[in-house]
Amino acid sequence: MKIFISADMEGISGVVSMDQINPGARDYERARRMMTREVNAVIEAALEYGATEIVVNDSHDNMDNILIEELNPRAALISGNPKPLSMMQGIDETFDGVFFVGYHARAGTPQAVVDHTYAFRVISAKINGRPMSEAGLNGRLAGHFGVPVVFLSGDQSAVACARMELRDHVGVVVKEAVGRTAAVIHPFEVVKERLRAGVAEAMKNIKNIEPTVEKGSVELEVSFSISGMADMALLIPGAAKKDGRTVIYTARDYMEAFKVFRAMLALSSGIR
Ligand SMILES: [Zn+2]
């Protein structure tokens, strides 16, 4: 059983503040150790319940957070940035299931640790009219390859977003957010048990979980915090303006929509 893990940091059990998630910040080194430990717990459980091959894609910020020297040696790590498929680099049709570890809620979600959607400048990203978190966006790319998302961990709001956006999967709440930078957190022994139980359930049901597939053409709609960002996104041939801050693009398939979203992010990045 071949498993793809995309690991972010905002939804890691002990992480609550910007002083932890930004490389170089006061508590960042501790946060990356917590991230590595949590990914290891998921890897160990997956191996225990039948995984034979595991690829971990580091999916936070510069994407070189996970400490390879502390990672379970049964897993391979994709580290660094930029990567063409970003948080989903490495996914293809050879995988049996996708795990999202340390994920967070989409931009604008109340009671969610560091809610955002790929970048703080994105107010919303919609696929065929439905708002998406990173789980929804990334899960559909897995679906493009016929691979289901079978497991997600994060705060209660990250789990709730994924429930709305993806087909049936196991969601594990590792902390309870009380605000954007505050949460009820638990000692790792408690979290580890929750993760293990969730991974066990996901692995046992993996053959019955369906991928989330967008068939046919896909409408991508992105709203930015500043109109100039939308103007830059409009440089993409075929992109159309919906309003001052919102751009629409109709893609032939989901892969194209995902790549156009990535291109819009790159084009808009320099605007202040
Ligand atoms: Zn992140």
Out of 179, 208, 237, a domain closes at: 208
Instruction: Flag whether 128 is in a domain.
Output: no
For 185-218, write each residue's pLDDT tens digit: 999 999 999 999 999 999 999 999 999 999 999 9
Kindly state whether residues 230 and 102 are assigned to the same domain.
no
CA 130 to ligand 1 centroid distance, Å: 22
Instruction: Flag whether 124 is in a domain.
Output: no
Kindly state whether residues 194 and 85 are assigned to the same domain.
yes
116 is catalytic: yes
Kindly state whether residues 31 and 66 are assigned to the same domain.
yes
Kindly state whether residues 40 and 163 are assigned to the same domain.
yes
Instruction: Please report the DSSP string for 22-57 in residue order.
Output: STTSTTHHHHHHHHHHHHHHHHHHHHHTT--EEEEE
CA 217 to ligand 1 centroid distance, Å: 29
> In terms of C-beta density within 10 A (0-12 exposed, 13-18 middle, 19 or more buried), how is residue 248 classed?
middle
Instruction: Flag whether 113 is in a domain.
Output: no
For 55-102, write each residue's pLDDT tens digit: 999 999 999 999 999 999 999 999 999 999 999 999 999 999 999 999
CA 32 to ligand 1 centroid distance, Å: 11
pTM: predicted TM-score of the whole model, two decimal places = 0.98
CA 233 to ligand 1 centroid distance, Å: 22
Kindly state whether residues 262 and 223 are assigned to the same domain.
yes
Phi, then psi, of 194 in degrees rounded to 5: -60, -45
Give me the chain's average pLDDT, please. 98
For residue 10, the enclosing domain spans 2-106+133-208
Closest to 206 in 3D by CA, of 170, 158, 173, 174? 170
Catalytic residue among 116, 144, 169, 186: 116
